[in-house]
Structure formats: C-alpha cells, structure tokens
C-alpha cells in the first residue's frame, strides 16, 4: 500500500512538472523563441505601417526572440512563406492573412509540427482548433457602426460610391457586409462598388470614372483612409464639394491622425477606428502560456466630424 502511494505521488509530481513546462514559451537550443510573422506590407496603409511597427517593437532580439518576417498582399505568397517558416522550425507563427480562405492545410501542417499559431488583425475560415487565439477587430461591427452612422444623417437619398479593400480579406468582408444589406434592401443605391485594393491612386481613378460618367452620387464609402484620400483628390479636381458643408459625404476607416485632422477641418465626415495594436496581447499569451479566449476583440468606435476633438486625435490617431 505504501509502495503504491509512493508511485502515485511520483507520477503526480512528473505530471505537474510537465504541465508547468508546457506553459512556458518554446525555445530553441540557443534559448531564443523563434517567431515567424506573416503580414501585409507596411506600404498598404497607415494602419498597416502602425501594425507592422507594433510587432517590430514587441518581438525583438533583445527580448530573446529570433524573428522571421514576410509581407505580401497575395494569399498564395503568404501560404508559401508560412510553409517555409514551419519547415524552418519556428516555435510560433503569427498571421494576418491576405484572404480568409485557403489556410486549413497549412495550419494543419503547423499543428503537426508543433508550431503554435496566433492570428492577428484578421480572421480566417478554419476550425479554431488550428490556432491558439485570434486578436482581431470586429470588422462586421466596424461596418455596422459606419452604416448606422450614415443612416442617422437622414439624407434625402443615398447614392453611394463604395470603394472596397482587398477582396476576400476579413476587413473588406466586414466593412462591406452592412452596406450590402442596405443595397439589397433598396435603402441605398449602389452607384459603383469596386475594389481599389487599399490603394489611394486606384481609388482616385474609380471616383474619376464615376464623375466622368455623369452619374449622381452623394456618398463616398471608402474602406480605408488612403482610399478616401484618393477619392477626395478626384472630387477636388472636379470642383465637387465634400465634408460637413459639402455635397458629398466622405467616409474612411483606420483613424490615421492625418485623416482625423481632415474630419476636424470638416473636409471628411466619418472615420471608423481600427486598432493596430495586437502584439503585446499575443506576447503576454506566449509568455504566460495562458489563453483567456479563442477570440479577443479590440474595442473600437467611429468618429463624427461634428463631434471630434483634438483630444480624440491625440488619443486615438495613428502615426504623425
């Protein structure tokens, strides 16, 4: 009896030691934690530049991280990079996917190799057993908040130029969804709905094309600040007024400081917040070995030009 008790106690101690070790970050033979980060390029937008910088600031060699990074707007290129990182033996794969589909096989490969995956900024269409946690914005809520604000303006009609981001991305799907419901219901008219893939120059071309067609519009709903800026450039060149006292309502997303300053000046009407700061949350989960939830939502809001203050810009604005 005493011998059995000793054996059971010893086994419990071993199990306890295993659990304790399992909670610590995996480390290479040199003591570093190997991190592979896949993201969109910082040139995509002011938001993305802030997002990339956030991860560069948190995951540094001085803190014991060996970091590999890959940036692309193309899902197939990201998939190839993820496969290479897994082959290279990273301990953690941090992923902001260019598109929501196509990731299941790669994440299964990561799981089989013992690579822990954290999603950030964007969700993907896989079973949640294939990743540790996702730190994201509620993109659908961002769209709903923006569209509800637009409806609250009680315009006589809603003739909308809708400039979309990269098709199939979580941000595009979320920010498009609420507006599509209004188009389907007939409460708003879709003058044009076209992707500019987050690009300012492409957004300008889309608006120029509508202006040249002579079709009437009174709303520009651009799915990021850069595209809203391009749209406004086209309006200015055509002599079309916009903003608080203008003909055209201008809406953007991301809350770059320069964009919020456009709101404060009355040149734009609305900007939806999208927080780029996810790295520290992921690092805390890696270091503690504790995941509070599969999906961690950044709290965000929308800003109205007629209510925005300089204090809001200082507190919530991104960049300079």
pLDDT in tens, the chain (320 residues): 433 433 333 434 333 333 333 344 555 556 799 999 999 999 988 899 999 999 999 999 999 999 999 999 999 999 999 999 999 999 999 999 999 999 999 999 999 999 999 999 999 999 999 999 999 999 999 999 999 999 999 999 999 999 999 999 989 999 999 999 999 999 999 999 999 999 999 999 999 999 999 999 999 999 999 999 999 999 999 999 999 999 999 999 999 999 999 999 999 999 999 999 999 999 999 999 999 999 999 889 999 999 999 999 999 999 88
Find out whether 305 and 243 touch, Cβ atoms under 8 Å.
Answer: yes
Secondary structure letter of residue 175 according to DSSP: H
Distances (CA, A) of 223 to 109, 298, 307: 33, 18, 21
What integer pLDDT is reported at residue 29 of this predicted model? 52
Tokens (6 digits) for 97: 């996917």
- Asked whether the beta carbons of 222 and 200 are under 8 A apart, the reply is no
* Chain CA centroid to CA 184, Å: 26
Contacts by residues 238-241 (CB-CB < 8 Å, ≥ 24 positions apart): 238/208, 238/211, 240/211
What local confidence, expressed as pLDDT, does residue 88 receive?
97
How many angstroms separate the CA atoms of 299 and 252, rounded?
A: 18
Spatial CB neighbours of 41, under 8 Å, sequence gap ≥ 6: 48, 52, 71, 72, 73
Q: Can you tell me which residue has the tokens 């070790």?
A: 21
Q: Rounded to an integer, what distance in angstroms lies between the CA atom of residue 213 and that of residue 204?
A: 14
Q: Count how many Cα atoms sit within 13 Å of the Cα of residue 110 in the half-sphere of its side chain.
A: 29
The vertex-187 CA angle with 185 and 189, nearest 5°, equals 100
At 298 the pLDDT is 87
- pLDDT for position 299: 85
Distance (Å, rounded) from C-alpha 292 to C-alpha 132? 10
Q: Nearest Cα to 125, choosing from 161, 86, 170?
A: 170
């Amino acid at each position: 009896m005493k011998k059995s008790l000793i054996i059971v106690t010893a086994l419990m101690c071993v199990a306890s030691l295993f659990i304790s070790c399992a909670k610590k970050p995996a480390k290479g033979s040199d003591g570093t934690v190997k991190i592979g980060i896949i993201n969109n390029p910082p040139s995509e937008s002011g938001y993305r530049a802030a997002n990339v910088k956030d991860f560069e600031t948190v995951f540094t060699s001085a803190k014991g991280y060996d970091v590999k990074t890959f940036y692309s707007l193309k899902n197939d290129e990201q998939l190839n990079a993820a496969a290479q990182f897994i082959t290279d033996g990273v301990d953690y794969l941090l992923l902001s996917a260019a598109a929501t589909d196509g990731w299941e096989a790669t994440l299964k490969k990561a799981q089989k190799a013992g690579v822990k995956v954290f999603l950030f900024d964007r969700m993907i269409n896989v079973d949640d057993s294939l990743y540790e946690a996702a730190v994201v914005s509620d993109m659908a809520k961002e769209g709903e908040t923006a569209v509800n604000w637009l409806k609250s303006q009680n315009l006589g009609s809603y003739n909308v130029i809708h400039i979309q981001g990269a098709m199939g991305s979580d941000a595009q799907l979320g920010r498009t969804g609420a507006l599509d419901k209004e188009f389907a219901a007939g409460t708003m008219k879709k003058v044009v709905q076209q992707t500019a893939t987050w690009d300012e120059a492409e957004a300008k071309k889309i608006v120029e094309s509508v202006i040249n067609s002579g079709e009437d519009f009174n709303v520009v709903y651009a799915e990021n600040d850069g595209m809203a800026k391009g749209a406004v450039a086209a309006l200015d060149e055509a002599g079309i007024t916009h903003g608080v006292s203008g003909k055209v309502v201008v809406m953007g997303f991301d809350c770059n400081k320069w964009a919020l300053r456009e709101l404060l000046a009355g040149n734009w009407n609305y900007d939806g917040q999208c927080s780029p700061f996810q790295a520290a949350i992921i690092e805390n989960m890696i270091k503690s070995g504790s995941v509070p939830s599969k999906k961690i939502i950044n709290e965000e809001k929308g800003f109205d030009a007629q209510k925005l203050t300089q204090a809001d810009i200082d507190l919530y604005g991104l960049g300079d």
